[in-house]
Structure 1
Amino acid sequence: MVTASLAIVAVYYLANPFGDHLATIVSHFGYSMLVYYFSSVVCLLLSRIILVKYPQFSSLPHTFLIPLIYGFALLVIKIVRPLADRFFSRVNNRHPVAEWCLSVLFIPLSLFFFFVQHFLTANNLGGNTAALLITLAYFILALLVMNHVGSDLHYRDQATFASHNLDSLTNYTDKLEVMYDDLRRFRHDYQNILISLSSALSDNHIAYAKQAIQELTQSSSRIVDMPTSVFEALQNITDLGVKSIVYQKLSDAIKDGLHPRLEVVRPLELTTTLQPLDAIRITAILLDNAINAAQVSKQKKVSLSLFENENAQFIIVGNSTKEAQVDLNKLAELEHSISIGNNHHLGLRNLKIILGHYPNAVNDRSSNQHWLEQKIVLPKK
């Protein structure tokens, strides 16, 4: 246990390029130890059972036991890998409680291995057979628990995803209804003012005509100046979840007095290269950081561009900055910060963790002339 704990600490601080949470690293170690102890118990018990029938080979297990354990462990890993990958892809850096709880599954097997080594005699065929069956049953039970918990958390994530989409869609629909009511009232006022203007000109009432023109100008300015054009490109975002989060964040930017810009020239589906939840999380983190930085800048500008070519998809988020040039090295350092006291720091670290699940993804930053731009490149293959 002490060795495993030291190894976990070493990996967390010295070999953690994507900034995985401690719970994630512990869960991977726990799974590795589970497979190791399972393989050790099975190989030891099988060798004992075989030696009872063939005592002339008593010297062989001592020579080949360790290679057999590691070879058997590799075979087990290959067989159960689909289940393990499915489980870890659902809980990694998302459900720390599940990771902590399931990371201790190896402890009962380690204690049982100690019992088999020191208290169960080699020539006890019945006891060794029973121990082997117990070991197999426990390992199968552990896999069933991982499968059940992984599936349950997956369905919970999907439910949260669906609820988020529904809330955002409701908000989006309400906003469209308000805009429609404003346009309907404007059309009604516009017609009345034109009638008044025409009547005033016919009667040569210049003062009244000027007043009508002034009212018309004010009413037109109120509609024309509405920041609705920024949302026109939303129709080219085909993922409802991504569309909802982009609408929500850009709406927040407008409320905060910023000047957002959205560019999506052609229909785009980010979920062809990203998991749906990851696409939402990446977009939300990038826009949150950009909005926070733009609020303290002079220009107060934020931009989001989504496009693709034959080989990759691109997410480009830019924002005006207070500094003429941001120190990109400091941003890189924040990605590895383990402090949770700053949401901006935490967002950068979470972004790095998410992108760590996509080995071919590229995260490129540039800063110049009070403008910071972050480009995410996601290969399609």
Structure 2
Amino acid sequence: MLTLVISILTLVMFYFYIWQGKEQGFSDTAITTNAVAFLVYTVIMIVVLAIIVKSSVKNAKVEAQALQMRQLREYVGALEALQKDMRVFRHDYVNILSGINGFITNSDMDGLSVYFRTKVIPMNSDMEVNISKLSTLQNLEVIELKGLFATKMIRAQEWGVDAQVEVYKRIDEMNMDSIDLCRVTGILLDNAIEAVVDTADPTVRVAIIQKKEAIVLIFANSLPEDSPPIHHFFEEGFSTKGENRGIGLSTLKKTLKKYPNVSLDTKITQHGFVQELEIG
């Protein structure tokens, strides 16, 4: 489209140049020579522009494919972790049955009752709680975002983080480029998880809310009492995890400048560090 517009403008300028040359009394030879040079230059510029556009499109496709591959690797990693958990559960299940069999063999009903209350019920409750914390992701139909949230939240749970995501209404699209959307949400989620791993209360909460004319993604995490002021988080190179590791939020801020319909509100409340990403 851009190439077509430039071609039309060039053609208009070409005819204007010929008309102006005749008005100024230039000879036909001079007009023809300059016109040919002008046309050659124009053709070269159009070819160069077409190559640049084609290269940009190709680079965008490569970047999108690279993002999909990264998400696929993370998703496969999460599935492998789940498979490992299932193997562990199967092993524990066999041990539990063996323990129950021992109590039954010895007719120790009181011991069996205590064993069931202290060993079996807590393990079942833990599994149900972890599954329920991700169950509402089924309402998120933006596939690339669903995969990103699933893998990172499962990984967070493996690290001992109380991670939960809430999506209570069906959401099938967001008015933002998918690559930038995943980049921004990935940064916010990674920072939230990393911030709580070594704290006394490792908690991360994510909610995706559908409003009338916007979608709001809320990221909240517990925060140590000695946390720095908000403005430091957006400084280039700043990180609570060490020197020169904090490029995420400054990169996020630069990315969001491309989207007038997207805003980020950051605040520290009594509940922790909260960031609200609103996509209009």
TM-score tier, shorter chain, comes to: 0.7 to 0.9
Classify 1:347/1:53 alpha carbon distance in 2 versus 1 (closer, same or farther; 3 Å): same
Contact 2:139 2:170 survives alignment (8 Å): yes
Specify the alignment match of 2:147 in structure 1: 244
Offset of residue 254 of structure 1: 3.0
What residue is the counterpart of 2:33 in the other structure? 127
AA aligned to 2:197 is Q
Q: Structure 1 residues 170 and 122 mapped into 2: Cα distance closer, same or farther (>3 Å)?
A: same
Q: Give secondary structure in 2 for the equivalent of 1:372.
A: strand
1:294–1:319 contact (8 Å) kept in structure 2? yes
CA contact (8 A) 1:260 1:302 kept: yes
RMSD across aligned C-alpha pairs, in angstroms?
Answer: 3.6
Q: Is the 8 A contact 1:325 1:369 kept in 2?
A: no
Residue 305 (structure 1) aligned with residue 211 (structure 2): no
1:321-376 CA distance string (max 9 Å, x none)? 123675223335x2xx48897332x2112211222222022211121236110001
1:364 aligns with 2:265: yes
Q: 1:307 to 1:374 in 2, by over 3 A?
A: same
**What TM-score does the superposition give when structure 2 sets the normalisation length?**
0.78
One-letter amino acid matched to 1:302: V
1:50 counterpart residue number: 19
Identify if the C-alpha distance between structure 1 residues 53 and 159 changes in structure 2 by more than 3 Å, giving closer, same or farther.
Answer: same
Q: d(CA) in 2 for partners of 1:187 and 1:245?
A: 31
Deviations 1:45-65 (A, max 9, x none): 766533443336x9xxxxxxx
**Percent identity of the aligned residues?**
20
Q: How does 1:45-124 map to 2 (within 5 A)?
A: 49-55=18-24, 124=30
The aligned amino acid for 2:188 is: L
Deviation, 1:240, is: 2.9
Deviation at 1:199, TM superposition (A): 4.6
Taking the TM superposition and a 5 Å limit, the aligned residue runs for 1:193-232 are 193-201=99-107, 205=108, 209-210=110-111, 213-214=114-115, 217-226=118-127, 228-229=130-131, 230-232=133-135
| Preserved CA contact (<8 Å) 1:236 1:265 | yes
Q: CA separation in 2, counterparts of 1:339 and 1:368?
A: 21
Q: 1:228 to 1:310 in 2, by over 3 A?
A: same
Structure whose residues are more often helix by fraction: 1
Cα distance 1:371–1:51, how it changes in 2: closer, same or farther (>3 A)?
A: closer
Cross-structure match for 1:351: 252
SS of residue paired to 2:141: coil
Q: 1:263 to 1:314 in 2, by over 3 A?
A: same
> Closer, same or farther in 2 for the Cα pair 1:219/1:54, shift >3 Å?
same
Aligned residues: 270
Contact 1:52 1:123 in 2 (8 A): no
Measured against aligned partners, the alpha-carbon deviations of 1:132-185 in whole angstroms (never above 9, x if no partner) come to 111210221122112210221122123213322322332233233334444445
Which ranges in structure 2 are unaligned for 5 or more consecutive residues? none
Instruction: State whether residues 186 and 219 of structure 1, in contact with CA within 8 Å, keep that contact through their aligned partners in structure 2.
Output: no
2:18 aligned partner, one-letter code: I
TM-superposed CA distance for 1:197, in Å, is: 3.7
Structure 1 segments of 4 or more deviating over 4 A? 45-48, 182-196, 338-341
State the match for 1:263 in structure 2: 166
Cα distance in 2 between the residues matched to 1:363 and 1:122: 62
TM-score (norm 1): 0.60
Determine if contact 2:266/2:274 at 8 Å carries over to the other structure. yes
Q: Is the 8 A contact 1:308 1:314 kept in 2?
A: yes
| Partners of 1:127 and 1:338 in 2: CA distance | 57
What does residue 52 of structure 2 align with? 146
Distance 1:210 1:373, change over 3 A: same
Residue type of the alignment partner of 1:291: I
Query: How far 1:217 sits from its partner (Å)?
Result: 2.9
Unaligned runs of 5+ in 1: 1-30, 59-120
Q: Aligned partners of 1:325 and 1:172: how far apart in 2?
A: 31
Q: How far did 1:190 drift? A: 4.7
Instruction: Label 1:225 to 1:310 Cα distance change in 2 as closer, same or farther (>3 A).
Output: same
